[in-house]
Amino acid sequence: MPVEVSNESEIAVDEAELAGICRFVLGKMDVNPMAELSVLCVDVEYMSSLHERWMGEKGPTDVLAFPMDELDTARPDDPDPGPALLGDVVLCPAVAVRQARAAGHTMDDELVLLATHGVLHLLGYDHMEPDEEKEMFGLQSQLIESWRSAPREPVTGEERAPVKPAPSSREQTPR
């Protein structure tokens, strides 16, 4: 599942972790594996401008989700539908830092929560009404808990050295 993470903020973020949680959530929610997602981390000023333009509210927010109007971009008679763009999740790490301190966890934990929240919004979940909020936040918690307990290889950013087979006793070694 293609997930592109781009960090244009002044704060270093774990891009691999953000892509990982997004792929996990999309997989658990049975989203077509060909769907594409974009995650963008921005600074306070840019997030404030997006928040005011699209939500009519001043100041920065933690996460905004911009779904595409149509998830299925393939023709109905196409036997092999191509990738569809799910939408964009925009995160503000500076706001995430403040919220993480208030919640008593790390910025990375907060960004995982916010990315999950944004993906759920792209999938049509909302929290405007009490019953919607209960459903969305309950699902969000279940997904994050499940992701944290799932076995994963650590991402180090280092390439793995190729494993060379041991030479057999019949092979000649170069001199």
Between CA 144 and CA 22 the distance in angstroms is 10
Residue 1 confidence (pLDDT): 75
Residue 121 confidence (pLDDT): 94
Residue 74 confidence (pLDDT): 44
Read off the pLDDT of residues 26-40 as tens digits, 9 standing for 90 and up: 999 988 888 899 999
Q: Is the pLDDT of residue 110 over 70?
A: yes
The set of residues, in sequence order, having a beta carbon less than 8 Å from that of 147 and lying 6+ positions away, is 20, 21, 24, 25, 112, 116
With H, G, I as helix, E, B as strand and everything else as coil, classify residue 65. strand
Read off the pLDDT of residues 37-85 as tens digits, 9 standing for 90 and up: 999 999 999 999 999 999 999 999 999 999 985 555 444 555 555 557 8
The pairing of strands 36-41 and 3-7 is parallel
Q: Is the pLDDT of residue 170 over 50?
A: no
Q: H or E segment at 112?
A: helix 107-122
Residue 168 confidence (pLDDT): 47
- Joined together, the tokens standing for residue 108 give 């990375």
Q: Is the pLDDT of residue 100 over 50?
A: yes
Read off the pLDDT of residues 134-167 as tens digits, 9 standing for 90 and up: 999 999 999 999 999 887 665 555 554 554 544 4
Between CA 53 and CA 7 the distance in angstroms is 21
Residue 157 confidence (pLDDT): 54
